[in-house]
Structure 1
């Protein structure tokens, strides 16, 4: 009965459409006139519903004029409203998509989007993307944009690509999942586009800011710098100089938390957090391992890396240099020195430290690795804290004495900045914590104690440096930002900027992620190992718990971030023994 009713109703609507009987509105589309019915149009089209119900002149005169629309496409849309019938092919579906979006015929728009999605190809995806953006067609917008990103190399050779405007180009090249052979290729594509769109040359710097320039060769960087459109733009030159620093300062590469140094999802590299050593127990017998694990924040996945050649023991120090990892000292082998070659995916043992130690600091500089202070368990009580400094000269592959700190300390944080290494707090030979900040000059190999101090005497402090900002995290959860002495600030200072509530944590790791200070694991009040990740947003200074977690709750001896070839990564199974 109901089916008969529906069929009869639609037959009646179709008759009204074809005959124009009882029409109460005429619609002029270019040079063609259509006799329609307000009630029918308002039922299927929000555009007409609003027009006829708002008291606009069209609802009063019964006459509507639509200029920018093809009459044949409008006719197909009206036929769909009255009959539910539609025949689609790619070209007509694109036109109908625009018409249905403009007239807000949701049912027809959905049909067109569903039909077009599997028909998106290299030839039409740019046009479809632009149409869908203009008309808010979410299904096609996402699918067409995905096709552009996946096939960017082919897309960049089409005429449609050269007719994109600067904002559209930027929207494409800024994407993490842009499939481009290399960042140098991307630069070449941008320059080709600019050759065809010389009037947009003033957007050069905006384009370059979206290129991951840290991953172009230095030779190519010099070539870029000499291009006239770059050489005459101070902002472009500033950007080039920042990237030069990245290449010239391999020890500081991990501190550049900007887009130009961020690997894309489509790169052969993955940016990972590497967790080194650590144990799951706070009291003997300690459960330790030579296994090395890393975590991709982007994939939210843990991976297993090649194992250490041996366990250096607790309280070693780790540092990165040009994406390689160096481990110094440790409780089981105090003079150990291990090197992870990221390109070869191999750990190697390097020449031993001159003075064995643990609970020390390890800092990378342009030409080498420094170790400072620490604790030597082989020394007598009252003399176990060290003040000696030694340097590993990478080019000579050997260690050399490099002076002393003023005060022997262990369990402290250290930061390298402007030819100086700053040490913060620590534990002295008296077994008392200190609030002293020492400044060691790498050129003169001399050290002084600064007048400024950290807010409280404490040990087991961690540091995090990025984009010329220096942060300390104390065991009570306070986050301190350190400011060097300068012409502007005059005096060096420590400023309390944030706090992790209910923290009371030690033996945690600290890294930068998304311009925030991220805490990894650790132990609460020396009894409870943690597996959580906490973040301090360094713009808002808000602290929160992230959704990421360690593979097991644990104390963290060392953690660093590096860019690693994806083929080195072996996913860690959920049931794997850690």
Structure 2
């Protein structure tokens, strides 16, 4: 017969202890509801609640202090708490006995206030989770105010993220118009507000001022200073000059005059006072992934897009020109197809897709024909780096902004690079790997766009070309490619703070000529070639899991495709 562990039998497990405690408190609550052994009555706005001091003191710090620290209430049988809603107080008293409470959108704000007042930390944590999940355009400013009031960073972060993503809808609420000037300034100065154009910020500010024009006209210049008037369209500025908020404010009129001068006399911009000329960029905004062109002859003008929320590919308007191995850039929700090849010659041509009108239109040509280049967008400027002109690999760099109406030369890279990849961190363009006729590189070059100087970066862990690169959470990811002897499934990450590369989980397939993009804090690898055949599949990576899984395959493309992510319009988001 096996020996009996008498000591173990005599020891109560955690589960047994928890069960005993739960049963005891259930019995306390039954006794309370029957009115037995109660020694305290709490009065709130005409309603009375019987309870036991010992249970309240054990569960709620506020009552613990009241009943154990020699206060007068410790000797009383009745106390008044008329400053709180009676129904909410009843819920909290029940919580003291049961540990459970039903939170709703109607009671959450009052319960949070009472939980904070009574220092019930566990209940505050429950309220945090609930508030983070129910942010909406109708309550967002109340949620944010509550977070600030109690210096609760979790609530502040959740509310701030929702507000960044949904500024357009939130700014059209009555609550926005009632905000104080400090809050409006704090919101409108945020560089990460998701707007389709700065006109949406201007419209919100004008509506806020006009909501109480008499009281707010003196505050108008302060609020208007956060609108980036240099990137508001000239016609919008002209139209706004008739708005009462501008007509009645001399300082605002001066701001608008300066902005219109900036637009109409561009050669004098260098002597004008500094103005913010960069669009806002929300890093949290989800996007739609567009795949276009490709190596297959029947797909070189085809376009399709992947909606991560719908989890499907949908065909879109074809490009005007059939092209392959071209650069892609997204600027203000417009998709640029740059240069490329038809298999025989290289192009200078550029066309852009307007997602709002579902049309392609021509843009100014590149200075030089090129394919297999690296592209990046920094501070509203598109950069095209290196590539191949049909004879040689290129080191030259071109840049474009719509208001320039032409491409301009920028300092060349230190060495020619074809089939490299580019990523952006902190207003720096990282050009990674690539090749020329003689070698495949593991080297990295970095362009600081503020001083237009190239410098060497930390080398890749191995040489590679025809790979994908993108930036997520201030880290650079590279995936796939070709190292001169084999096609790659490896994925590496560059940590800017540590200034080093390190590997993460490999993809499920080897992929050269692969595209890598990010949206909604996930990585997507699109298409490619595995050394034997073209690939139409995609893979998705979640950094929190360090794991790749397959997504739905493209319908119109296989092999190497050009890919860009167009952010969802600010008028549609609500998450």
What's the TM-score once normalised by structure 2's chain length?
Answer: 0.56
The 5 Å alignment of 1:299-318 reads 299-302=309-312, 304=314, 307-318=317-328
- Which of 170, 176, 199 is the matching residue for 1:182? 170
Unaligned runs of 5+ in 2: 1-19, 51-84, 206-219, 227-273, 482-487
Partner of 1:323: 333
1:558 is the counterpart of 2:558:
no
Which residue of structure 1 lines up, in the alignment, with residue 504 of structure 2? 498
2:459 is equivalent to residue 465 of structure 1 = no
Q: Deviations over 1:221-250 (max 9, x none)?
A: 9836989xxxxxxxxxxxxxxxxx996444
Give the superposition deviation at 1:348. Answer: 1.2
**Distance in 2 between residues matched to 1:129 and 1:443, nearest whole Å:** 47
Q: Which moved more, 1:367-376 or 1:547-556?
A: 547-556
1 or 2, which has the higher strand percentage?
Answer: 1
Deviation of the 1:272 alpha carbon: 0.9
Match for residue 159 of structure 2 among 173, 179, 188: 173
Quote how far apart the aligned CAs of 1:412 are.
Answer: 0.7
Give how far 1:194 is off.
8.2
* 8 Å CA contact 1:362, 1:371 repeated in 2: yes
Which of 395, 407, 422 pairs up with 2:403?
395
Match of 1:433 in 2: 440
Q: C-alpha separation between the residues in 1 aligned to 2:293 and 2:460?
A: 27
Deviations 1:420-469 (A, max 9, x none): 64432212124x42333345676887867x48532322211222235654
* Aligned-residue offset at 1:482: 4.6
> How many angstroms does 1:374 deviate by?
1.7
> Mapping of 1:41-190 within 5 angstroms?
47-49=25-27, 63-68=37-42, 97=91, 100-104=94-98, 126-127=109-110, 149=136, 151-152=138-139, 165=150, 167=152, 170=156, 173-174=159-160, 176=162, 181-183=169-171
Match of 2:11 in 1: none
CA displacement at 1:315 relative to structure 2 = 1.5
The answer (yes or no) to whether the contact 2:140–2:159 under 8 Å persists in 1 is no
Structure 1 residues 307-316 or 286-295, which shifts more?
A: 286-295
Report the equivalent of 1:371: 384
Partner of 1:347: 360
| Aligned residues: CA RMSD | 5.7
Please state how far the C-alpha of 1:472 moved relative to its aligned partner. Answer: 2.9
Asked if structure 2 preserves the Cα contact closer than 8 Å seen for 1:325 and 1:340, the reply is yes
In structure 2, the CA distance between the partners of 1:311 and 1:129, relative to structure 1 (3 Å rule), is farther
Q: Distance in 2 between matches of 1:444 and 1:99?
A: 64
Matched, 1:335 2:341: no
Q: 1:392 and 1:520 mapped to 2: Cα distance?
A: 26
1:46-89 Cα shifts (integer Å, max 9, x gaps): 62426899xxxx9xxx83434337797769xxxxxxxxxxxxxx
Which SS does the other structure have where 1:223 is aligned?
helix
Name structure 1 gaps, 5 residues minimum: 1-41, 76-90, 196-203, 228-244, 264-270, 570-578
Deviations 1:114-160 (A, max 9, x none): xx97xx76xx674467679979799999999988836338979xxx9
Shift of 1:328: 0.5
For residue 303 of structure 2, the aligned residue among 270, 274, 291 is 291
Q: 1:345 to 1:104 in 2, by over 3 A?
A: same
Mapped contact 2:373–2:388 kept (Cα < 8 A): yes
Alignment match, 2:432: 424
- TM-score, normalising length: structure 1: 0.56
Map of 2:245 onto structure 1: none
| Contact 1:402 1:445 survives alignment (8 Å) | yes
SS of alignment partner, residue 170 of structure 1? helix
Residue 361 of structure 1 corresponds to which residue in structure 2? 374
Alignment check: 8 A CA contact 1:276 1:556 kept: no
Q: 1:225 to 1:504 in 2, by over 3 A?
A: same
Closer, same or farther: CA 193–209 of 1 in aligned 2, 3 Å: closer
Residue 544 of structure 1 corresponds to 547
Larger radius of gyration: 1
CA contact 1:290–1:311 (8 Å) conserved in 2: no
1:480·1:494 contact (CA, 8 Å) conserved in 2?
A: no
Check the 8 A contact 1:532/1:550 in 2, yes or no.
Answer: yes
Say if 1:546 and 1:175 are closer, same or farther in 2 by CA, change over 3 A.
Answer: farther
